[in-house]
Homo-oligomer: A and B are copies of this chain.
Amino acid sequence: MCQLLGMNCNTPTDIVFSFEGFRRRGGLTDHHADGFGIGFFEGRGLRLFHDDKPSANSPVADLIKHYQIKSENVIAHIRKATQGRTSLVNTHPFVRELWGEYWLFAHNGHLGDFQPPPGQYYTPVGNTDSERAFCFLLESLRQRYPAKPPRHELFAAMAELTAHIRSHGLFNFMLSNGEWLLAHASTLLYYIVRQAPFGEAHLLDQDVAVDFNAVTTPNDRVAVIATLPLTRNETWQQLAVDELVLFHEGQIIHRHCPQPPCYLSAEEGLAIARAAGVAEY
């Protein structure tokens, strides 16, 4: 199974600390070693890095560490190829333009039998189930809304489309237009909202700590979302199975959750992925 990392903030923030732990899962502490990608929104603009080298020893990942790009919305993905040839064209996150905005998408799961009809507006370039799902989402939104609808209406439409797609398999994803970040869990997705009073956090994958108090202002609010928690001394919240949430300025402002919510343990989540043929390990 691939791993996802996202960040949504109320002020441009660098993701270096979280990314350092995350990238080690690409080849060092875990087996997601088929390349990685990360996209940073800066206003309406997007800075995108893809690499087919494992993130743990990628020069592109080194650049990200040293450059400390500040962004309000970030989505990163470490890939373990299960659908599609391992190549740059199949490396997440994927980008398309919708309603005059760039939309950025990364997926972790398996939608093997999801073969939507060719779209009028969006066509996959690679051959992954993930890019097919992304194009289907955008196509459906654009067919329904020639112009951008209000956010609550968009969220309701996304909840409906997400339910349709996940009926074909496992559909953990993150999606951002630079303004908000949507996250959906079929199995495993955790988040944490960091805000004042800030404390110290210790990475799980590396002996590294950061004192957020020293690098933030009292008004900062940062949500970090990941397949599995990245730190060992903080309490991460879990998304329920089939839960969809929309983060804006570092907090959840819309959520759509089945009743009663069901939560998987990490072991159960990984076992389900394995049983669905998602991963070889």
> A4 contacts the other chain (Cβ, under 8 Å)?
no
Taking CB atoms, residues of chain B closer than 8 Å to A42 are 52, 87-89
Chain A's interface size range is 20 to 34
Contact of A126 among B44, B47, B89, B91 (CB under 8 A): B44
- Cross-chain contact A59 with B48 (CB below 8 angstroms): no
> A145 contacts the other chain (Cβ, under 8 Å)?
no
Instruction: List the one stretch of A96-104, A180-188, A203-211, A223-231 in contact with chain B.
Output: A96-104
Question: Of all chain B residues, which has the CB nearest A40?
Answer: B88
- Cross-chain contact A44 with B89 (CB below 8 angstroms): yes
Taking CB atoms, residues of chain B closer than 8 Å to A47 are 50-51, 88
- Cross-chain contact B123 with A46 (CB below 8 angstroms): no
Contact of A100 among B43, B97, B123 (CB under 8 A): B123
Instruction: List the one stretch of A60-68, A152-160, A235-243 in contact with chain B.
Output: A60-68
- A residues 25-63 in Cβ contact with B at 8 Å: 42-52, 59-60, 63
Taking CB atoms, residues of chain B closer than 8 Å to A67 are 59-60
Assembled-state Cα–Cα distance A25/B51 (Å): 27
Assembled-state Cα–Cα distance A46/B89 (Å): 7
